[in-house]
Every structure is written in C-alpha cells, then in structure tokens.
Amino acid sequence: MRLGTLTWEPVLDHLDLVAAPVRSALETWAQEESNAVEQVLVTEIDPELADTTAMTEAYQLELADSVNCVLVAGRRSGEERLAAAVVRATTRADVNSRIKRTLDVRKASFLPMDRAVEETAMAYGGITPIGLPPAFRLLLDERTSTGPAIIGSGIRGSKILLPGELLTTLPGAEVIADLAIDS
C-alpha cells in the first residue's frame, strides 16, 4: 500500500523494523486477534526524519494522519502515576489540565528522555503505544480513535500505520475526550 511517497507492508512480515517490546506485543496480539494485526503496516524511513514534522514533509504525508505518543508522570500521596498520552500531531497533549485530572495528581510533567527510553526499551522519537510496559496507563485522545494513525515503531528508522480504531483495542486503552488541545 502507498501513503505519501512511502510503501507500507504488513508489520508481521517485517518485525525486524520494530523494537523488541513492540515485536513481542505484536506477536502476542497476532495470536489473540490475527485479523486485527493484519491491518498493521510498517515502512522504513530515514532515522534523521523520524520527528513528525520532518517525516510528514519529506514523505508527503498529512500531518493529521500522524499520532504522537508522549509519556507523562505525576505523583499523588507519594505514589508515582505514569501514562502514555496518544494524540494527533495537529494537537498537543493537555498535560496541565486534562491529563493531570485523569491521573488525579497535583502536577503532571513529561517523562525525561533518558528515563522514557530506559523504561520503554524504545528509542526517543519512536516511542509507541504498542508494547509499553504495564506501569503506563494508555490514554488516547478521542480524535486518534478513527482514521489512519501513523505511529512510532519503537525505533527511529521506521513507522507503523494502522486504523485508529485498532488503537482503541490495545491493552488498557482508555479513550478520553479532550485529552489534547489544538496546536
């Protein structure tokens, strides 16, 4: 399949293009729901173009088709609460209001890059909602639940494409209205 100037192929035929935790999650998902995973595609990209804006421009993709996964942390009564916020690239995660309230914390902030990479075993700029550790709540802005979704693959050298509807079937996915605000 072609989208933009890229050729997308079934991810299960190219598991070498995804990070180890993503591969493991995809293999488990394929055993449980093979019809769903058959809709998940992957393409190789230049790792220098992994950032959303650079990728969409270089490969003639629609910015609205890209979905970002940002990791957020907050504390309540000494307990750390972690989440992955999944939002369209045309929006930004509402960390200071909606996500903070959803996590029920006094203050929420982005997870530092080194910690995000260490805890997910994924490359910064490639972190994806597929294969996240169970400690992370998976919060999806409702706008990600329909239409195409180009997401990270856990590495910077490829991207995954799947229907937004499939994002809602990921383990623990919570679809939340107004999780993101327009950029």
The full set of domains in the chain, from first to last, is 2-182 (3.90.960.10)
pLDDT of residue 183: 84
Q: What is the mean pLDDT of residues 24-47?
A: 95
Contacts of 77 (CB under 8 A, 6+ apart): none
Q: 90, 96, 100: which is closest to 149 by C-alpha?
A: 90
Q: Where are the alpha helices (DSSP H) in the chain?
A: 20-32, 34-37, 52-58, 100-103, 113-120, 164-167
Q: Distance between CA atoms of 109 and 96, rounded to whole angstroms?
A: 8
Q: What percent of the chain has pLDDT over 70?
A: 100
Q: In the chain, what is the straight-line distance between the N-terminal and C-terminal CA atoms, in Å? A: 30
Phi and psi, residue 51, nearest 5°: -65, 140
pLDDT of residue 101: 96
Q: 160, 23, 179, 163: which is closest to 97 by C-alpha?
A: 179
Contacts of 35 (CB under 8 A, 6+ apart): none
At 74, the pLDDT band (50, 70, 90 cuts) reads very high
pLDDT at position 42 over 90: yes
Beta partners for residue 148, in sequence order: 163
Q: What is the mean pLDDT of the chain?
A: 96
pLDDT of residue 85: 98
pLDDT at position 179 over 90: yes
What b-and-e string marks burial along 57-82, b requiring 16 or more CB atoms within 10 Å of the CB? eebebeeebbbbbbbbbbeeeeeebb
Q: Distance between CA atoms of 23 and 122, rounded to whole angstroms?
A: 11
Q: How far is CA 147 from the centre of its chain?
A: 15
Q: 105, 103, 106, 131: which is closest to 119 by C-alpha?
A: 131
- pLDDT tens digits along 86-126: 999 999 999 999 999 999 999 999 999 999 999 999 999 99
Cβ burial of 37 (10 Å; 0-12, 13-18, 19+) is buried
At 34, the pLDDT band (50, 70, 90 cuts) reads confident
Q: Distance between CA atoms of 140 and 88, rounded to whole angstroms?
A: 9
